[in-house]
Chain A
Amino acid sequence: MNPQQLGKISSRQLIILISGYLTGSILVVSSSFQAGNAAWLAIILGFVEGLLFLLIYLKLCRQYPEQSLLEINHSVFGPILGRAVSLCYLWYFFQLSALILRNYGDFLNIVSYPETPLPILLIMGCILTAYAVKAGIEVIARCATILAPITFFIFILTAFLVLPQMDFSNLLPIINKTWKDVLLASHSIAVFPFGEIIPFLMIIPLLNKPAQAKASLLKAYFFTLPLLLLMVLRDTAVLGPMTNIFLYHSYETVRLINIAQLITRIEVSIAGSLLSLGFLKISVLYFVVAVGLSKVFKLRSYLPLVFPLGALLVGLSLLQFENNVEALEFYNKVYPYYSLFFQLFLPGLTLLVSFFRRKPAKGVKE
């Protein structure tokens, strides 16, 4: 399959797509509040830890320019082992998209459609993303240039609208839990959302100017930090000690907006904008899985795989967890350590092996 078939995106589109992708589901479920008042500190520490992961990915990109993650695996580990490693990554991306689909399904089910059965919501979401994936990465990126800025604007606007409800003394004492809690929360922030940038190693070869890949990854990464900081500071200042009680902090915060009894109950429109970012996130992962699978099996096109993968996606997101609490528990407690294998161990191993493999070749040259 030639890359021409997959379409090309510009680096600006990539920046917006990544920042929309990274802020996507963290606006709905945030694990940073395990740190109590120090959620903002957890975000900064997690950002620094995630930066280390990103440096590994960038180093891989520089060693194998214009190659996707699967091609890097192929040239580092050889055809058979490389394929196995690639399948590991694809499983992780697929499971992650099922997790996110489930989170959004539960979110919708709890906040706005309590009577609708969960499978219906999941199938609707999946049909929408399957349609986007069929249309290709160009369409997803163009969607991102519309959806993500609108969401960011609404998000910053709500921070101003909720100003009357804010009480900045809620931020004190700075650390009301133990340092251990802060570090654990910062680790969950490092893997979700910052470490989840790894599927973009598959999308980087589709850039029209591959030289800008590194700059756009870093720009998007740094762009996400102020948004997340704004989110946690807003939510901590508004909700205060109640952050431990609520599941969906951003949503609960926006609920409280009340400007002169006139602008109230705007949370449903906010939920809509949050969902648009979820759509972006799921469609990026879904696209990467479909393309990756077609590359691993050397198929002619990824298009026929989209619909059966969608059916499997709905099935997996349904059967993985019995209820919302179980899903969130997995996301907050187990996922930070499980995903380390794919976000740190496998890329690190790839880098290490490529380092040893390159050395003899260099010696021969000299």
Chain B
Amino acid sequence: MILLIISAFIFIALLDVPKLWRNKHIKDLVVYLSIWSLAFLMAILFVYDVEIPSPAKSITRLLNPYIPK
């Protein structure tokens, strides 16, 4: 499973990174890699069943006192 995810993410990176690197679009590459690594981290944590804080739940907790029942 973990190998599958790693190969999928490497495949995604291979689609765009070489072109960006060749053309020296460094800023594009930095933004790309930060989104890519965030997604990669999320996928790895998901596979290992690590509890990731859900944004929806924090929003619910924050807004709960103000929501009319």
Binding site for B on A (CB under 8 A): 95, 99, 180, 184, 293-294, 297-301, 303-305, 307-309, 311-312, 315-316, 318-321, 330, 333-334, 337-338
Contact = CB atoms under 8 A, between A and B. Distances in A.
Contact of B39 (A99, A308, A334): A308
Most buried by A among B15, B16, B35: B35
B2 interface: no
Contacts of A298: 27
Contacts of B38: 312
Contacts of B39: 308, 311-312, 315
Contact of B31 (A95, A297, A307, A333): A297
Most buried by A among B35, B52, B56, B64: B56
B63 interface: yes
A311 B28 contact: no
A304 B28 contact: yes
B54 A321 contact: yes
A299 B25 CA distance: 9
A184 B68 contact: yes
Contact of A299 (B28, B42, B55): B28
Interface of B: 9, 12, 15-16, 19-20, 25, 27-28, 31-32, 35-36, 38-40, 42-43, 46, 52, 54-57, 59-60, 63-64, 66-68
A308 B60 contact: no
Contacts of B46: 315, 318-319
Q: Which 8 A-B pairs have the closest CB atoms?
A: A311-B39, A315-B42, A308-B36, A312-B39, A308-B35, A304-B16, A320-B56, A299-B28
B31 A305 contact: yes
A319 B52 contact: yes
B55 to A, nearest CB: 6
Contacts of A95: 55-56
A309 B33 CA distance: 11
B12 A307 contact: yes
6 contacts: A299-B31, A311-B9, A311-B39, A315-B42, A320-B57, A334-B60
A162 B1 CA distance: 46
Contact of A338 (B19, B35, B57, B63): B63
A305 B25 CA distance: 13
A312 B42 contact: yes
A282 B41 CA distance: 23
A304 B32 contact: yes
A245 B67 CA distance: 23
Given A300-B28, A334-B63, A321 B35 contact: no
Contacts of A180: 68
Contacts of B35: 305, 308-309, 312
A308 B29 CA distance: 12
B43 A308 contact: no
B34 to A, nearest CB: 9
A333 B32 contact: no
